[in-house]
Structure 1
Amino acid sequence: MRRLPPLTAIEAFVQVARLGSVKSAAEELSLSSPALSRRVQNLEHFLGRSLFERRHHAMVLTEDGEALLARVSGPLDELANAIEVSTGQADLLRLRLGVLPLFASQRLIGKLPELRDMHPELHIDIDTAAHGTARLGDGLDAAITLAQSIEPGLYSREIDHNIITPIGARGLTVRGAPVTEPEQLAGLTILLHRDMPETFLFWRNAIGYPNLEPAAEDHFDSGQLMLDAAAQGLGVAFMLDSHLQDADDERLVPLFDTRVESPYSYWFSCRRSALRRKPVKLFHDWLFSRVCRQASGPSESGAAIAEAV
């Protein structure tokens, strides 16, 4: 029988190749970074060729590494699935999902019972901390974030398009007059979300008021708190029309007759290799078939999605 390298070395190689980082791969495999590096080096020594270019904080596959990954990643996944079935672990699937709190409360949690009915074996760990895309493969399997775009190296799909909506308390006034014109913002505080910092600037330029300055800007890291602050008359929240619709709060109304498409959208993203994992694929397909509003089109074509999975 031909001599083979240790399976642990192949597993280490595949994880580093998929995650692009020794640190992330080590955490995924519950190893120290030096131990994982030794496994990869042992495989390179066995093969007699370099599989990675070592760069600052990154591991980039060489041509030999790309070729090897294409040959072994599929069989390794099949072997892992076979072991899960044999040990009974396949009965439980777990997804580590990063999601913004407002999206989770308005559009996700209420629909999760439907997903549980469809896939009772799927369980979701929800993480509402910031910087979801930066933590993909490093604690998160997938993320739902609010951004203008997602870095090209990740698989991403736009969840919906939205309109920038200035949201205020019903009956809001400034200097005793009802707020009906954009110029009146000069006497009001505006409320901005940390993930949408340029919303007001984009809106004022689009409606032809590039020099319009509010009395003050208050910044929030919680969309729900922004809505609550607006409802209490503390300022005008510059958010998305979906935020107002899903809030269903009679205290809140849209201000001004403007319609400006937002540069910010909700996105689903994950590492491309993650779509091969059943928990990610099940959630992705359910999200876009049952939860998401129809966007003008996904960020990737059907062919690109098929290639990713």
Structure 2
Amino acid sequence: MVVRRLPPLRALEAFMRVVRLGSARAAADELALSPSALSRRITNLEEFVGKKLFTRAHQAMKLTDEGRHFYDAVQPKLEELALAIEGQSENLSLLRLHLGVLPLFGSQRLFPRLAELRRMHPRLHIDIDTGAHLEDRVGDTLDAAIILSRGPKSGLHAVRLDENKVHAISNVEVAKSLGDTPDRAILEKQTFLIHNELPESFTAWKEELGMRDLEPAAIDQFDSGQLMLEAAAQGLGIAIMHDDHRRRAADPRLTDLFDFEVDSPYSYWFVCKPMALEQRPVRLFHDWLVKAGL
């Protein structure tokens, strides 16, 4: 049996962290190394593989094309190695992720797919938090979150999960009474249901109608998309929300009003602190989420 020569593992770890964190300084801090010590480890790896993996200028390190090819080839193998060791060890504890999730995303998109993640990574368990201000709590009480936002705050690693259309959603009977063509006089007599954290959806919808100054009889505020759908299904008002939610609900009581689409100002995002990607529970969930295309 031929034993292949392995690269210096500490050098390989330094390389992977620089790529994942996007910063040599952040990688050095994470590894408790000086910038020069980190650079030496990268140099050792480059000498081992015989390739220039980074360009260096003004204390910044940028992947070369060969460095990118090296990362793409090695990263999946390292993940396989970690999984193999995890599967053979009886001493590893559970991997636990503290995840913030909006309830409607959780019930419609996340939970129906979590069983496949559990089959892939049986030691990974997820604590779900549906509380308020998810984005603000990332890096504190939450490891990561799935939020609905115009765009995450700077300083967060963010992956956009979709792009949405805004629709007016109502009970089927209400839709029949309103007709197929928007009528200002009729719409001004209606109650609209708006999520209190997504007010610009209603603004975008009115602008598409050419009725930016439309003033309905009432606007009822909600902090739950699930309850907005139920209220609309019960005929309590017209819900302004993403069309995707009505489709996934598959509720025969609900329908879209009128025949037009509006680009939503908001999208679903996965967010975490950049350094959190070095934590195995966060990395496993992140990679699965992106690949699954939820």
- TM surpasses 0.5: yes
User: Residues 282-293 of structure 1: matches in 2 within 5 Å?
Assistant: 282-292=284-294
Which residue number corresponds to residue 182 of structure 2?
181
In structure 1, which of residues 209, 217, 220 is the aligned counterpart of residue 219 of structure 2?
A: 217
Q: Which residue of 2 aligns with 1:100?
A: 102
User: Is 1:69 aligned to 2:71, yes or no?
Assistant: no
SS of the equivalent of 1:267 reads strand
- Residue 168, structure 1, aligned to residue 170, structure 2: yes
Contact kept? 1:108, 1:291, Cα under 8 Å: no
Distance 1:197 1:204 in 2: 12
Counterpart of 2:275 in structure 1 is 273
| TM-score between the two structures when normalised by the length of structure 2 | 0.69
| 1:79-135 residue CA offsets vs partner (Å, 9 max, x unmatched) | xx9xxx8x9663411000000011101111111111101110100000000111100
Cα 1:170/1:150, change in 2 over 3 Å: same
SS at match of 1:171: helix
CA contact (8 A) 1:162 1:262 kept: yes
Aligned residues, how many?
A: 222
* 1:214 shift after superposition: 1.1
SS of the residue 2:147 aligns to: strand
**3-state DSSP of counterpart to 2:166:** strand
Q: Offset of 1:168 from its aligned partner?
A: 0.3
Q: Which amino acid aligns with 2:182?
A: E
Give SS of 1:123's match.
strand
Q: Provide structure 1 residue ranges, at least 5 long, that are not aligned to the other structure.
A: 1-17, 19-64, 76-80, 293-309
Taking a change above 3 Å as real, the CA distance of residues 142 and 67 of structure 1, as seen in their structure-2 partners, is closer
- 1:102-251 matched pairs, under 5 angstroms: 102-172=104-174, 178=179, 180-183=181-184, 184-251=186-253
For the residue of structure 1 that corresponds to 2:32, the secondary structure is helix
TM-score between the two structures when normalised by the length of structure 1: 0.66
8 Å Cα contact 1:102-1:223 kept in structure 2: yes
Pairwise CA distance, 1:291 = 4.1
Q: Deviations over 1:196-245 (max 9, x none)?
A: 12211121123321121111100001111100000011100000011111
Contact 1:167 1:238 in 2 (8 A): yes
Code of the residue aligned with 2:171 in structure 1: it is A
5+ long unaligned stretches in structure 2: 1-20, 42-81
CA separation of 1:67 and 1:277: change in aligned 2, threshold 3 A: closer
Q: Residue 124 of structure 1: SS of its match in structure 2?
A: strand
Separation of aligned partners in 2, 1:147 and 1:67: 29
CA RMSD of aligned residues (A): 2.8
User: Aligned partners of 1:242 and 1:252: how far apart in 2?
Assistant: 13
Aligned to 1:125, what secondary structure does the other structure show?
Answer: strand
